[in-house]
Amino acid sequence: MVRMWFRHLTGARASQVDSIVLGSQSEIVLGRAPSAAIRFDPLEDRRVGRLHARITWTDEDPISFLLADLGSRNGTFVNGRLLTAPIVLHSGDIIQLGALGPEVEVKWEGAGSSKLQLIG
C-alpha cells in the first residue's frame, strides 16, 4: 500500500493535509475543479487552474511518481523551478501551482524496494 500526503503550506488551505491511498486510479489531479483529487479554493486560489497539474506513477519496483503541468496559464513549479516537461518527484518536494500561487509539500510511504502492491 502506498499513501501520499499533500501538506498545504500556503494559500487558502494553508496548514491542511490531504491524504490519498493509491488504488485503482491512475492519476492524481491538482486543481480547482470539483473533480480534482487535491482541490484548491476556487475563489481564493485564483492562480490555480481548474485542472492544473497531474501526478502519475509507474508499476515498476520501486515505484516512481511523475508530475506534469496540464497546460496551465500560470505554470507549475517544483522546489522553485518551473516545469517545462514532466519530472520525477521525490518525497518532500514542494509543488507550487502558479508563480506566487499556493504551495504543497508532497510525501509518501510504502514505496520501498520490495515489490509494491497497490490497493484496488
Task: Let me know if 37 is exposed, middle or buried by CB neighbors in 10 A (0-12, 13-18, 19+).
Answer: middle
| Range of the structural domain that residue 15 is part of | 3-109
- The string of pLDDT tens digits covering residues 70-119 is 999 999 999 999 999 999 999 999 999 999 999 999 999 876 533 333 33
Q: What is the DSSP letter of 40?
A: -
Phi-psi region of 100 (alpha: psi -120 to 50; beta: other; left: phi over 0): left
Q: Which pLDDT does position 112 carry in this prediction?
A: 56
- The string of pLDDT tens digits covering residues 36-49 is 999 999 999 999 99
Cis ω before 86 (30° cut-off from 0): no
Q: Which pLDDT does position 60 carry in this prediction?
A: 80
Identify whether 119 is part of a domain. no
Total domains present in the chain: 1
**CATH code of the domain containing 34:** 2.60.200.20
Q: Which pLDDT does position 111 carry in this prediction?
A: 60
Residues forming beta bridges with residue 104, ordered by sequence position: 8, 95
pTM, 2 dp = 0.89
